Chains A and B, each alone.
Chain A
C-alpha cells in the first residue's frame, strides 16, 4: 500500500532513480541545454548572414564604382571581420586589383587567381555557416538511444528488485518503470528540437551557399568584362 500512496512528482521520480540512470539524465539535460544554445546561436547567425547578403546584393547591383564599394566595405572594419558575401567580394576584388596594378599578366591568369581567392573566402564562409550543425545532428540521432539506455537500465533494476518479493504486484514495478521512462522522455526532449533545427539550418545554409556561388559566378563575369 505504501507504494500506492507514493506521489509520482517529477522531482521524486528523478531523485529516486538509480545512479546510472541519473548520470544518463544529467548527460541528456546537458546535451539538451547545449543544443538549444546552438540552436539560438544558429538562428541569429543565419538571420544575420541572410540580411547581410540581401544588403550587399542591393548595394552591389545598384551599380556604381567597384573600387568605391570595396573601400566602403573595408574602411569600416579590419578585413578579417568582413563577413558573408562581402568577404567573397573583398577577396576576389583585392586579388584582381593587385594583379592589375602589377601588370604584365595574362587576363586569364588574373581571372583565375581572383577566382581562387573568392573560392577560398567562400570556403571560410561556409565553414562558419556549417558550425555546430554536426553537434545538432549528433544530439538528434543519439540522445534517444542514450535515453533508451537509461530506461532499459532502470527497468532492469526494477525487475531485479521484483525478484526479492514473494508476490509481485504492479505496485512494485510501477515506480521503477516510471523513473526509468523519465530518461527516455528527456532523451526525446533533447532529440526532437535538435533534429528539427538541424534540418532547417541545413536547408538555410544550402540556400545561402547557392546565393554565394551564383554571386561568385556573376562577379567573375563582371571582372572578365573589365579586364
Chain B
C-alpha cells in the first residue's frame, strides 16, 4: 500500500460565477447616487417667553422682501416679477453699484487681500412664502438667490484673483464672503392670498 492517494483538486471554475452573483446583488441593493442640494442654515429657535418682541429694526432701504404667494407668483419689493428677473434684481440690490439712496447702505471695512472696501453687510433679503406655495417654486427662488450671490462672488474673485470663487483657497473665499455675506432671512409663514 505504498501508493499515496491523491486528493482531487476542487474545481474552482465556478467561484467566478459566485463572485459575480454577489457583485450583482450589491450593485442592486446599494445606492451610489451622491445627494445634492441647496445648503441653508436655519436661524436658532426663538425662546418661548420673548416671542413677541423679536422684531429687529431694519432700516427700510436695507430690506428686500421677496414674497411667493399660493399661486407661485413672486413679489419682489413692491412689484410682481417673473422668476427670470429675480436674479438681476437681487444682484442689483446687494451690490448697489451706484450707491443709490434706496438700496442698502455700505460700511467701510478692512478685508484681507482687498484692503478697505465698502461692504454692504447690512442688507437683508426676507423670503416669505405662503403655506400653499409649491415646493418647486420655493426652491427656484432659493436657487435664484443663491445664483445671485454666487455670481457676485465670482465676479469679484475674477477681478481680484483671476479665478472663480470655487477655485480660491480658504482664506480668499472667506474674504470674498466678507464682502458679500449671504443674508437670507426666512420669515415665519403667513397666509397670503389663501385659496385652499
Partners in one complex: no
